[in-house]
Amino acid sequence: MRLAGAPEEAIARAHNSPMWAGSIALAHTLAYDAVCLGDGTPPTKRLAAIRQPVLMATGGTADDTMTGLGNGFFDTAAVTAAIPGVERAVIPNQGHVADPEAVVPVITRFFNGKDSNELG
C-alpha cells in the first residue's frame, strides 16, 4: 500500500478491516505486481500483443490509497491505445473496491456483446 502511495491512515484502516487476513494471504503476489509496475509506465509493447477482447474498467472516483501511482494511472491513454480493440468503461462513483452491483452491469454488457469464439 505504501508503494502505491497510500497514506498511513489508510494503511491503518486496512489493517483493522475484516479483509486484512485475506490481503495477507495474497501478499506473496506483490512481488509480481512490483515487477509489472516497473517504473510505473505502461508496458505498451506487451499490451499491444494482447489478442483477446479486453474490457478496461476503472472506477470514476479517486482513491486515496493509490496516490503514489499518479493521477489517472489506470486511465492512461497509452494503456487504452496500446491494446487492440480494447473497450473502455468508467464506472461512476466507484473507487478501488467497487460495489458489485455497479460492476455487474458493465461486465454483463461486455460479455453479452462478445461472440463466444472471441472470449477464448
| Domain contains 1 | no
Give the total number of structural domains in the chain. Answer: 1
| Domain contains 94 | yes
| Domain contains 40 | yes
The predicted-structure confidence for 79-100, as pLDDT tens digits, reads as follows 888 899 899 888 988 877 789 9
The predicted-structure confidence for 2-56, as pLDDT tens digits, reads as follows 777 788 888 899 899 998 999 889 888 888 777 776 776 778 898 999 999 999 8
| Domain contains 17 | yes
For residue 105, the model assigns a pLDDT of 94
| Domain contains 120 | no
**Mean of pLDDT values over 97-114:** 91
What pTM was estimated for this model as a whole? Answer: 0.62
- Long-range Cβ pairs for the range 4-11 (8 Å, 24+): 4/65, 4/66, 4/67, 4/68, 4/69, 5/65, 5/66, 5/67, 5/68, 5/69, 6/64, 6/65, 6/66, 6/67, 6/68, 7/64, 7/65, 7/67, 10/64, 10/65
**CATH code at 68?**
3.40.50.1820
| Domain contains 41 | yes
Q: Domain span at residue 23? A: 8-112
| Domain contains 117 | no
